[in-house]
Amino acid sequence: MVAPVLRLYNTLTRSREEFRPIDPDLVRMYVCGPTVYDYAHIGNARPVIVFDLLYRLLRQIYCTGHVKYVRNITDVDDKINARAAERGIDIRALTEQTNAIFQSDVAALNCLPPDVQPRATEHIAQMIEIIQSLIAQNHAYAADGHVLFSVPSMAEYGRLSRRPLDEMIAGARVDVAPYKQGDMDFVLWKPSAAQEPGWESPWGRGRPGWHIECSAMSWKHLGETFDIHGGGIDLVFPHHENEIAQSRCAFGHEVMANVWMHNGFLQVEGEKMSKSLGNFITIHDLLQSDTFGGRRWPGAVLRLAMLRTHYRQPIDWTLKGLEEAEANLRNWHEAEVVSAPEGAEIPAQILAALCEDLNTPEAISLIHALRKAGKARELKSVLMLMGLYAPDIFAKAGAGGAELSAEERSQIEAVIAQRLAARAAKNFAESDRLRDHLLAKGIVLKDNKDGTTTWEHKG
């Protein structure tokens, strides 16, 4: 079957465009990942799910092995330093613990591991190289142990966000400092105190600014220009605007990425999520505790609840939405679907919906039609493509046995998520240990070719 044309909304041009990769043999995508100082909240889950779906769709169109997905890990940041000091623990210990939890949580959301998950601390040499190039081309300057990007040196600065100058100044939270030549100039490198992480550089011992990290990691793993750059809409300015400025000026190209994609904001039960309102919800809470709706939620339910709204629209995260998502998944995972053989072609209408800027609401409407028509094999293929195939959450204890409780299923899924994280980290000894641990309890795992795992209880 010939795939329909893939069309994506490009924030850079404010239009929906036909996607044409630079190299069809290797489609390259970069997505901003977590700053590992605390549990990721449910708003952070949205870009992870959205761009996992795009990754799956690109692999469907261009074939697995012809798509390279990079999602970074920010493990040097002032928020990390502050949290480690607050908890009285080593910075590396904090980032390792937090990253392990994040990897487990997103695996439970049925997200495939990216092809590369670079850490900022492993790319200091690339950051220094870019900064030196910017200085040599008069796009940056060193002052008082700092290095800053000179915003006036780039005529097209602001092209992505399209904000008036006064809004950009306000949005950038400009720091007043005597060493700055312009109000909008932003930090590429800054000095580190003795107790802070630091690396030797031509400008003294210091650490990078946030924006330069992504420029360096995307360059290292995807090249000077690449196809797609994604993230939440809150990153358009200043983070993505500054990435573009650094990369374009360092390498001399008209673009950093051809397509810029951004998902919309998330609120909870009609209100902005915040700790002060008591509605701050982490992915970990939803998966492992009873803080939302008095129960734990399977990762596939959270994923479907997220995909019911088009990725560019604001989403209202509600208990009702989760309940409806779970009911739909139960309806779709009837016996004929679970037992159906894999490998059926994706129905053309559903593939066309996903290729039209990830129109998941339309795709979900068509899934209901497939279920009603009894097309079990096609339905199974669609659920697998979208990361929604999760028969384990409806598993039964065995012939004549009682259905597993929600708590038992949640515990099993938590171990499976830990195993997926171990596999992503290439810790195969731990992966095997967790598999054997589940097998001893009668849980048989099946690793699917799309990177997901299903399970069955043999009693």
Render pLDDT for 365-405 as a digit per residue (tens, 0 to 9).
999 999 999 999 999 999 999 999 998 776 543 333 345 66
Chain segment 99-110, per-residue pLDDT in tens: 999 999 999 999
* DSSP string for residues in 320-336: HHHHHHHHHHHHHT-HH
Mean pLDDT of the chain: 91
Lowest-pLDDT choice from 63-77, 223-237, 306-320, 324-338: 324-338
Least confident segment among 216-225, 238-247, 389-398 = 389-398
Q: Which residue type is seen at 377? A: R
Contact predicate 32/47, CB 8 Å: yes
Does 211 score more than 90 pLDDT? yes
Q: φ and ψ at 358, to 5 degrees?
A: 55, 55
pLDDT of residue 174: 52
Q: What mean pLDDT comes out for the span 282-292?
A: 92
Element of type H or E holding 58: helix 42-62
Contacts of 194 (CB under 8 A, 6+ apart): none
Q: Please enumerate in sequence order all residues whose Cβ is within 8 A of that of 57, keeping only pairs 6 or more positions apart, or say none.
A: 6, 354, 355, 358, 385
For the record, the structure tokens of 236 come out as 């358009």
Cα separations in angstroms, 306 against 329, 352, 364, 388: 13, 20, 12, 11
Output 171 or 166, whichever has higher pLDDT.
166
**Radius of gyration of the chain measured on its C-alpha atoms:** 23
Band (177; pLDDT cuts 50, 70, 90): confident
pLDDT at 414: 80
List beta partners, residue 186: 149
**String of b and e for 256-277 (b: at least 16 CB within 10 Å)?**
bbbbbbbbbebbbeeeebeeee
State the pLDDT confidence band at 178, using cuts at 50, 70 and 90. Answer: confident
Contact assessment for residue 36 and residue 75, using Cβ atoms and an 8 Å cutoff: yes
Q: Evaluate if residue 64 carries a pLDDT over 50.
A: yes
Q: Is the peptide bond before 238 cis (omega within 30 degrees of 0)?
A: yes
- Per-residue pLDDT of 26-47, as tens digits, reads 999 999 999 999 999 999 999 9
pLDDT of residue 398: 31
* Residue 353 pLDDT exceeds 90: yes
Q: Are 306 and 232 in contact (CB under 8 A)?
A: no
Percent of the chain with pLDDT over 90: 75
